[in-house]
Amino acid sequence: MEQTMKLLGCLIGLAACYAVGAIAQTFPDRPVRVVIPQIPGGTSDVLGRIVAQKLTDKWGRTVVIENRPGAGGNIGTDAVAKSAPNGYTWLLTYVGSHAINPTLYKQLPFDPVKDLAAVATLAMAPFVLVANVDLPAKNMAEFVALARSSPGKLNYGAQHGAVNHLLGQLLNFKAGVQTIWVPYRGAADSLTDTISGRLQFNYGSAGAVAQQVRAGKVRALASTGSRRMESLKDVPTMLESGFPDLTVDSWWGVFVATGTPPAIVRKINTDVNEVLGMPDVVERFAGVGAEPYPMTPEQFSKIAEDDIRKWRDVVIQSGVKLE
């Protein structure tokens, strides 16, 4: 009897595996919803619509974008975390919302590690430390030397709790300097004030600052990425500049609710990575200062969890007020 029960258990397990595999082969058989927890028109939205159209063409099933902004991205994220774990509802988010919010906010209605499963990365776009052209620093070594000799004299602007806000705090901790954060409503205004000289430096996304750098309106000192950007080939990384602790890859990626069958997660990952290799997708990503960043679900999961820990330390050290 015991052997019979074991055999029956094995057969049931095999049948379940076969059923999941069969479902993955036919996935998707209905529209897929991609929740973006930011407003339309931003980088997340642009990247999501490019990939959604390509997948719609590939699958013959509509991939619908749904913008659900609010609470720094938490509203849309929570909706996906509580969705059915079947692969038909995705979260398309970026490192700032996913990795910083768990510490920035006192309490979230979801756990980004336990309730969400990493599926695929879409793109990487580092931030670039840019300085006013009149600042007497032409590289990171000179900038840090200037900051050390003038504590509290160099200002930068950013929205409260945003990645570029915390990048400035990371600079303070790791380089042993004292720069001053000035609150701004958005990155565009702080970049404008860096050009005018009201601010001495700023962290801007590669796509946002590339044109101003090429026009000579600001000076790019280093990018935070682990590799140089094609759009700013002459700008060294923080690693190349001698500041490896300031390396931060800003990513966009897809998550689904935990419990989604691994075979479906793998299929989504494979198909998304195929789209990211298309020449026209690479070109369109470049238009917003991003580069395709394909990897496996396991690789993405590790990066996402590592970033949560990294930004937790920065938020706590900086004393940024929790919401």
Q: At residue 230, does pLDDT exceed 90?
A: no
Q: Show the tokens assigned to 62.
A: 């509509």
Residue 110's nearest CA partner among 81, 73, 72 is 81
pLDDT one-digit tens code per residue, 88-127: 999 999 999 999 999 999 889 999 999 999 999 999 989 9
pLDDT one-digit tens code per residue, 234-276: 999 999 999 999 998 889 999 999 999 999 999 999 999 999 9
Residue 271's nearest CA partner among 47, 57, 77, 39 is 57
- Domains observed in the chain: 30-125+250-318 (3.40.190.150), 127-246 (3.40.190.10)
Contacts of 3 (CB under 8 A, 6+ apart): none
- pTM of the predicted protein model: 0.86
Q: Show the tokens assigned to 85.
A: 């774990």
pLDDT one-digit tens code per residue, 131-190: 999 999 999 999 999 999 999 999 999 988 889 999 999 999 999 999 999 999 888 899
Distance CA 307, CA 12 (A): 39
When pLDDT is cut at 50, 70 and 90, the band that residue 42 belongs to is confident
